[in-house]
Amino acid sequence: MQQPAPSSALLSQEDRYRLLVDAVFDYAIYMIDINGIVRSWNSGARRIKQYEEADIIGRSFSLFYTEEDRLAGMPARALEIAATSGRFEGEGWRVRKDGTRLWASVVIDPIHAGDGTLIGFAKVTRDLTERQQAQEALLNSERQFSLLVQGVTDYALYMLDAKGVITTWNAGAQRIKGYEPSEVIGRHFSLFFEPPDAEAGLPQRSLEIAEREGRFEGQGWRIRKDGSRFLVHVVIDPIRDDAGALIGFAKITRDITDSAQAQTALKEAREALYQSQKMESIGQLTGGIAHDFNNLLTVILGSLGIVKKRLGDDPKTLSLVENAIAAAQRGSSLTQRMLAFARRQELDPKPVDVGTLIRGMSELLGSSLGSNIAVETRFPLMMRPVFVDAGQLEMALMNLMINARDAMPEGGSIIVSAKEALFSLTADSAAEEHFICISVADTGAGMDEATLQRAMEPFFTTKGLGKGTGLGLSMIHGLAEQSGGKLLLKSVYGCGTIAELWLPISAVIPEQSPERTLDAADPALFRPLKVLFVDDDPLVLLSTRAMIEDLGHQVMAACDGVDALALVLRHDDFDLVITDHVMPNMTGPELAQQIAVLFPGLPIIISSGFTDTPSINMTGLLRLPKPFNQADLARVIEQVRPA
């Protein structure tokens, strides 16, 4: 039968203390003698250390220390400190019975007898493992976060205090801004701003916005340590303590210079593509219109030429006809400019000495430019010829110099120069070739950037209404492109304009070919020919047929290649075939190929206002450019007349 617990009144003071100590569950409270031998053991010690009282009484307390601490003499040193100093207090790793570790907070107090003799020590241990693990986890997290921040090199991550003074500095900030931590920590972050921005208070304003609105985000130019500028994207967030008080700012800076430049380059490329597509569309439209105009002008010039021959002596009527012919010829010149812009004009490229050509223009230039314009030429003594159509080049240079004259209404000077230099036709190509650069520089008002960008657009002019077609520069641009070169314009507003025409150097050696002379005494040379004329335009067909008949030849006409081929097969006595280039169903060159198979010796002339297929360059085909008059027709017929 269990004995009832003694009442507290029957307990001695010693029993009360023993019960009190044993009731403490969260602390290990036990006594050790002066040699460190455990002499008492409470319930808290059993829970924390996992030893039963019978297992530990009489054994050294060093049993609880880690092996490395025992080897280092930590148990004895703790007792020595407690004995000499009156107390030992510390924290460290201890070992449970099952071998697991715990982080313990330890207090050791010496116990003295009534006479002051040291008789042992009171030892109190508390298990702080969870707190220690939490602290270590926090430290580890902070360490990892610090490593993360320091490991970021694409962003500048750093902290500012509430006044904007730099307190931390990561590797990304060092890479982007060029400063070592020791050079910037403790300095105000306005150090990175451009002086005008710093003086305008932009740094402080960004902090105020971040504090007031909870965030600041923006872009701007900053300065590196070496003085170079770079474009940044910036985010600033306020940092507050638990009470909500502002203690600083987190600042993230990213260098976006490369991406901004890439965006600018992409935008420029898109604009260039759009401009190229627009110019190509205008070129196709212009070429088509010019082609149709050439047909109309061929009819007008041919018909007026015949009318003029058949007129009587009425001077007024003759004057009207000549005016109409002159107007048609001006229209022909305009269509040639349109075709030049579209790069579809008829060119006759040959080796051309630039110096000789410009010297030959001196008299014409003097009368065209006026007395208040001084022209200076600068050419090297020896310079290789260019490969270009001489007539078109002369017209192009005349256009450039007239443009220069118009830019100097009060007078000025024009410098025309030429040089041989390496040049690349495309900006993205590293391949350079030898070109001749013909430069026309004036001292006029120059052009602003917007005007310069549009200067070569067709129909764009700054000369005012009725003072220019706007096709001059676009024609020169077309001539340069079609000749394998390039036209460049350089201008600064108020400082004049320089036009550079880069043309390829001729690889062809000029040949002296004897011209065929007409012998009036040879009647065979002037015998009537039987001519087949082919064109899909009825007006051109009728007009040209009339011109050929007026020259004394017999003509048969066909409106397309199929009809023409049928006539050739039915009549095998044609002396000459003149065919239009662009026709439905069968083009002129295709017709010429089939006729050449059937009648190899039959001369064939191709009539065209422009060339847009390689087949037109077939060997043995003579060209008759549109628009043409009766004299042009007679000249080309004589060149192929059978001997």
CATH 3.30.565.10 in the chain is located at 350-504
CA nearest neighbour of 345 among 309, 300, 393: 393
168: nearest Cα among 188, 184, 192 = 184
Give strand pairing partners of 554: 530
**Where exactly does CATH 3.30.450.20 map onto the chain?**
13-129, 152-255
HEC per residue, 96-158: CCCCCEEEEEEEEEEEECCCCCEEEEEEEEEECHHHHHHHHHHHHHHHHHHHHHHHCCCEEEE
Give the per-residue pLDDT at 415.
Answer: 87
For the chain, residues classed under CATH 3.40.50.2300 are: 523-640
CATH superfamily for 523-640 is Response regulator (3.40.50.2300)
CA-nearest of 439, 395, 434, 437 to 414 is 439
Q: What is the pLDDT of residues 455-471, one digit of tens each?
A: 766 555 655 544 444 45
CA-CA distance, 94 to 91, in Å (whole number)?
9
Q: Output the CATH code of domain 152-255.
A: 3.30.450.20
- SS3 label, residue 327: helix
What are the tens digits of pLDDT across the range 73-111? 999 999 999 999 999 999 999 999 999 999 999 999 999
Displacement of CA 239 from its chain's centroid (Å): 40
Residues 250 and 237: beta-carbon distance below 8 Å = yes
CB atoms within 10 A of CB 184: 22
* pLDDT above 60: residue 2: no
pLDDT band at 351 (very low <50, low <70, confident <90, very high): confident
Residue 66 has pLDDT above 90, yes or no: yes
CATH class of 13-129: alpha beta
pLDDT digit string (tens) for 291-342?
Answer: 676 777 777 877 777 777 777 777 777 777 777 877 777 666 666 655 555 5
Q: 103-148 pLDDT, tens per residue?
A: 999 999 999 988 889 999 999 999 888 887 777 777 776 666 566 6
Helix (H, G, I), strand (E, B) or coil at 387: strand
Q: Give 88's contacts (C-beta < 8 A, 6+ positions apart).
A: 78, 79, 81, 82, 106, 107, 108
User: b/e string for 130-144 if b means 16 or more Cβ within 10 A?
Assistant: eebeeeeeeeeeeee
The overall average pLDDT reported for the chain is 80
Helices (H), 242-256: none
**pLDDT-derived band of residue 263, with 50, 70 and 90 as boundaries?**
confident
Q: Which of 71, 64, 72, 68 has the alpha carbon at shortest distance from 28? A: 64
pLDDT in tens, 182-224: 999 999 999 999 999 999 999 999 999 999 999 999 999 999 9
**To which H or E segment does residue 257 belong?**
helix 257-310
Q: What pLDDT is recorded for position 613?
A: 42
Q: Which of 573, 576, 545 is nearest to 558 (CA)?
A: 545
Tokens of 183: 């050079």
**d(Cα 509, Cα 387) in Å, to the nearest integer?**
10
Residue 516's pLDDT band (cuts 50, 70, 90) = very low
Q: What are the pLDDT digits (tens) for 10-64?
A: 566 666 666 667 667 788 889 999 999 999 998 888 999 999 989 999 999 999 9
pLDDT bin (cut points 50, 70, 90) of residue 519 is very low
What are the pLDDT digits (tens) for 617-638? 444 578 888 778 888 888 888 8
Quote the pTM value.
0.41
74 closest CA partner among 64, 59, 84: 64
Say if CB 534 and CB 510 are below 8 A apart. no
For 514, residues 6+ apart whose C-beta sits below 8 A from its C-beta are none
Find out if CATH 3.30.565.10 is the number for domain 350-504.
Answer: yes
List helix spans (H) across 218-256. none
Question: Smallest Cα–Cα separation from 29: which of 127, 124, 126, 128?
Answer: 124
